[in-house]
Structure 1
Amino acid sequence: MKKILVHFLSVFAFHSFAFSQIDSSSYKKVMLLAESIKDSYHMDKRTSVFDLSMDSLGSYILEYTNKEAAHDFVIQYKKEGISAPLQICGLPDESLGDKVYGLVTVSVGNIRSQPRNSAEMVTQALLGWPVDLLKQQKGYYLVRTPDGYISWLDAAAVSLKSRAEIREWGQGKRIIFTDDYGHAYEAPDRSAMRVSDLVMGNILNVLEKGQLFSKVVFPDGRVAYVSNEQTEDYDQWKSNTHLTAENLFVIAKRMIGVPYLWGGTSIKGVDCSGFTKTAYLMNGVVIPRDASQQVLVGEPIEILTNNKLDTAKALKNLQAGDLLFFAAGKHKSPQARVTHVALYMGNGQFIQSAGKVRINSMLPSAPNYDDFQTRTVVAARRYLGHIGEIGLKKVE
């Protein structure tokens, strides 16, 4: 036992010495090179993976989703004459085989910043919607949602699919749940045992349509019955969605009173950008996930004078359906990061998720005036008329 311990300590000491030698000579150079590549490609960790790490033997490991960026990194790595071995790991990970797609199997899949239950929830994905699978770790999958967001989904909440299987799901006869809340049942009877809860935006494949209920199949193979009164044919819903301010407000107002939930993007609970995202999604449009991403797309609208909200200018230039953006740290820095978004309704009113979904006004004379949010307005964007441009795509 003593010999084994001595051997372990010797190996550990050798590895520690090797790491310290590499750390002192090249670690900083390699990390700066990685940061330089990230900056040149304008990478956002929410939508790209470009992670560099070092193993115990002093070899560097690069995981990436951007092939061009990885190629440039390798070229620069060689030019710098760095002697440490470099392992390149593109995602999706080879261990996934052909199962590089997934379908969410629960009404709302909670997606987290790290592969553990206690990690921060950063976004959500709805039942029946596809995700790209990138790798597996600790009972979680690193997934990419339809809006490009990359984070960790519990393996129990996703059904793995091959390209052929995901295509088969998409070509099947589908329905979308358009009511706020509901359930799927074991039999065509509301008093029957429940199979799952359902929320607005959930998608299921239809096996057989009855007079009152449709027999459906979940992505993981479960069979159930769903009330026809609460659903629409998916293809008809998609072709009938017309993005107008009025239609946005139909969905937005249905969420009034829904509690604020950090990372929430469903009617069970929404954060500020999850609220605007859901309003657009149920009108057939996928927009970026976070407020700081949403402010980068669409048409800029002038509402400021000398870096402050100009109410008269805002009332003149804004149109119903525009998005208002806020920065909580605006009083500290003119370049403060956007942290909040709201949907403009017209006449100075906007609807937002702040504590709960509610309607407020930027007009001091209004009874629902929101002084804090009005003082921190930093930008406005128009999406209507710009669908199909970068970051604003129709549901496929």
Structure 2
Amino acid sequence: MSMTLRFPKWGVTVLSILALFTTLIFGPTSNASASINYGEEVSEVAKRYVGAPYKWGGTTPKGFDASGFTHYVYKTAATKMTLPRTSASQYKMGKVVKQNELKQGDLVFYATGQKTKVSFVGIYNGNGTFTGATSKGVKVVKMSDKYWKERYVGAKRVIK
């Protein structure tokens, strides 16, 4: 002799709704949130302009000089930061960063001219490279290349 329970169709529906309601109220919650890494984002924006031409005094993708490039990238990236216009002025802002503590988005400075201490700036990408508007256009450059290694002045972190 077997025993079966019979529920009306509406009873099954009510129990299903109660089970769903209980799960939603007492079940696990997620506090997922996304946060942007501004340094990574700045570095990625900078790489988009690889191949853009060099132009003395240039501040747009039609032609950049070194500080015009960093000025443009920081302004158009998610940081929306306005950097000073010259590399020497950019070198005066931010927090000093040791070369072995560089993070993506940090500014790296070089003395490429004869008259001034700081005359070039690029955006650090990680892995010992930076993106900058060189005399041959915007390029990704290895900091360990002899030319750049000999002219390195320092780095600054302007992203808080």
TM-score (norm 2): 0.70
Structure-1 residue corresponding to 2:13: none
Structure-2 residue corresponding to 1:270: 64
Secondary structure in 2 matching 1:344? strand
1:346 aligns with 2:119: no
Please, which of 252, 257, 260 is the counterpart of residue 54 of structure 2?
A: 260
Counterparts of 1:356-367 in structure 2, within 5 Å, are 356-363=137-144
Q: Which runs of 5+ in 2 are unaligned?
A: 1-35
Asked whether the equivalents of residues 326 and 339 of structure 1 are also in contact (C-alpha less than 8 Å), the reply is: yes
Asked whether the equivalents of residues 243 and 384 of structure 1 are also in contact (C-alpha less than 8 Å), the reply is: no
**1:338 and 1:285 mapped to 2: Cα distance?**
21
Counterparts of 1:188-199 in structure 2, within 5 Å, are none
RMSD: 1.8
**2:55 and 2:39 mapped to 1: Cα distance?**
25
**2:156 and 2:42 mapped to 1: Cα distance?**
15
1:324 aligns with 2:108: yes
Counterparts of 1:127-166 in structure 2, within 5 Å, are none
Counterparts of 1:114-125 in structure 2, within 5 Å, are none
**2:137 and 2:146 mapped to 1: Cα distance?**
17
Secondary structure in 1 matching 2:85? coil
Secondary structure in 1 matching 2:159? coil
Q: Which runs of 5+ in 1 are unaligned?
A: 1-241, 303-313, 364-369, 386-396
* Structure with more of its chain in strand, by fraction: 1
Secondary structure in 2 matching 1:251? helix
How many residues of Structure 1 are paired with residues of Structure 2 in the alignment? 122
Shift of 1:329: 4.8
Change (3 A) 1:329 1:263: closer
1:297 aligns with 2:72: no
Asked whether the equivalents of residues 105 and 123 of structure 2 are also in contact (C-alpha less than 8 Å), the reply is: yes
Change (3 A) 1:262 1:347: same
1:245 aligns with 2:60: no
Secondary structure in 2 matching 1:285? coil
Shift of 1:267: 0.9
Structure-2 residue corresponding to 1:373: 148
Change (3 A) 1:249 1:329: closer
**2:64 and 2:112 mapped to 1: Cα distance?**
19
Asked whether the equivalents of residues 43 and 104 of structure 2 are also in contact (C-alpha less than 8 Å), the reply is: no
Give the % identical residues.
35
TM-score (norm 1): 0.29
Letter in 2 for 1:340: F
**1:321 and 1:253 mapped to 2: Cα distance?**
11
Change (3 A) 1:329 1:282: closer
Letter in 2 for 1:317: E
Shift of 1:360: 1.1
